[in-house]
């Protein structure tokens, strides 16, 4: 129910239940946990793109399975094994159609979002007597204004792609049916860069939000100094001087 393929140094992950609008199941969460672990461990893969089969990214939790006592989450890792513990490498959401509830929260767990102009977003859990506990209430306020997050969480309304871009949780908008191509183009730009530098840059941006102001640069140095001393840093400088493409090793 979750498919993978590679495009150079990019891993494409596809949620594959189109007949159910890619509603998430426990098996899908297990599949995602395995796939993300393999992605992290593979030195040849630099970036992942997450998308959905058919015309929907992910409509959230499979409510029929929920009534049977099933939850599409992994303890300590969250919804679809992603929302509480994203990979250290970059991951991009390519969104066509609906990204709702857990699907929207899965999208928020990605570092970048490329959405078709026809995409729709929302956390409608309150309409089902539930709360958006996979990131809608804690991650969304970090990605947009608090007032926007409160409105989305308390109304459960559905919003268009332009609203997402205007309010900071969508990076790029494409034509309908072109989100995956747009995400792959963005992924290839990232994958062309030094993978160690990219990974540490993401780590610093993520972790520094909780650092005291007085300690930000000292804490950054702990992470950034090894990058400056790495083989990739030397390779990047040599490739520039020799007017050639760098050959990264991630070390």
Contact 184, 12 (CB under 8 A): yes
Which distant-in-sequence residues (6+ apart) come within 8 Å of 123 by Cβ?
A: 100, 101, 104, 105, 132, 136, 140, 152, 153, 156
Which distant-in-sequence residues (6+ apart) come within 8 Å of 6 by Cβ?
A: 12, 45
Contact 72, 26 (CB under 8 A): yes
Residue 125 annotated as catalytic = yes
Catalytic residue among 5, 84, 96, 125: 125
Contact 31, 76 (CB under 8 A): no
Residue 105 annotated as catalytic = yes
CA 65 to chain centroid: 25
Q: Nearest CA to 114 among 41, 200, 62, 189?
A: 189
Separation of alpha carbons 88 and 94, rounded Å: 19
Catalytic residue among 105, 151, 162, 229: 105
C-alpha to C-alpha distances, 153 to 21, 132, 139, 192, nearest whole angstrom? 21, 7, 12, 38
C-alpha to C-alpha distances, 232 to 28, 36, 42, 104, 247, nearest whole angstrom? 36, 24, 17, 35, 8
Q: Which residues are catalytic?
A: 105, 125
């Amino acid at each position: 129910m979750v498919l993978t393929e590679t495009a150079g140094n990019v891993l494409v992950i596809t949620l594959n239940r189109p007949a159910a609008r890619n509603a998430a199941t426990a098996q899908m969460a297990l599949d995602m946990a395995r796939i993300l672990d393999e992605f992290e461990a593979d030195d040849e893969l630099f970036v992942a793109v997450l998308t959905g089969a058919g015309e929907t990214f992910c409509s959230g939790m499979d409510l029929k399975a929920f009534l049977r006592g099933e939850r599409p989450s992994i303890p300590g890792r969250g919804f679809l094994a992603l929302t509480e513990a994203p990979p250290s490498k970059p991951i991009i959401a390519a969104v066509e159609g609906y990204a709702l509830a857990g699907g929207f929260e899965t999208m928020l767990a990605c570092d970048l979002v490329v959405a078709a102009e026809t995409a729709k977003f929302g956390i409608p859990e309150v309409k089902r007597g539930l709360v958006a506990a996979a990131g809608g209430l804690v991650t969304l306020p970090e990605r947009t204004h608090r007032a926007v997050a409160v409105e989305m969480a308390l109304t459960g309304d559905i919003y268009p792609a332009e609203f997402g871009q205007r309010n900071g949780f969508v990076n790029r908008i494409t034509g309908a049916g072109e989100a995956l191509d747009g995400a792959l183009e963005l992924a290839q730009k990232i994958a062309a860069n030094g993978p160690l530098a990219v990974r540490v840059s993401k780590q610093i941006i993520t972790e520094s939000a909780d650092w005291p102001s007085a300690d930000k640069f000292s804490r950054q140095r702990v992470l950034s100094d090894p990058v400056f001393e790495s083989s990739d840093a030397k390779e990047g400088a040599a490739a520039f001087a020799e007017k050639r493409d760098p050959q990264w090793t991630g070390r």
